[in-house]
Amino acid sequence: MTAPENKQSFWTTLPGILTGVASLITAIVGLLSLFSHNLNRNKESQPVAREAYAVPAPHRVQGCEQYLGNWSWFIGGVVTMAPDGNAIWRRNRTDPFPTAIGSWSCVDSKDNKIAISWPTGYVDTLRLSTDGQSVFGSSTNGVKVSGTRLE
């Protein structure tokens, strides 16, 4: 025995289904719009330390080559100090795309002091430990910054 076919129940529920789908689409479009607006707003309102990019790479890192390599970062993830002067932060070491790219420069090679300028406008000032296995310092917002060499 089969259940009786009720064609009217489908037509009765269709407006509710369409309303639900329309609400879902509206919510998605709203979230995408908000996300896009925040990206554009952040690009306009976040100061970027452009002067760090103006110096040719060999002069930026010259004298502080001991910082080159990968560092386990205090907030998690890995920061790579590249020879071209880029400081590349990835949430996970294996992430194919960086989470943030800043620039680093040698501030004082005799004192083993560098500065990392991040796209957020913060600048981390760091010193290398005597054994070369860790970095420590602070950011312009007063947060303690540190890292441990991975390689």
Quick count: other Cβ atoms within 10 Å of Cβ 79?
Answer: 27
> Would the pTM of this model clear 0.85, i.e. be above it?
no
Sequence spans of domains, the chain: 8-45, 51-149
Residue range 30-60, pLDDT digits in tens: 555 544 444 444 444 444 443 433 344 545 7
Give the pLDDT confidence score for residue 55 in this predicted structure.
Answer: 40
CA proximity to 118, closest of 40, 34, 38, 42: 42
Please identify, in words, the CATH class of the domain defined by 51-149: mainly beta
| Dihedral angle, C-alpha 21, 25, 28, 32, nearest 10 ° | 170
CB atoms within 10 A of CB 114: 26
Q: What is the pLDDT of residue 94?
A: 86
98-148 residue pLDDT tens? 999 999 999 998 998 999 999 999 999 999 999 999 999 999 999 999 999
pLDDT value at residue 125: 96
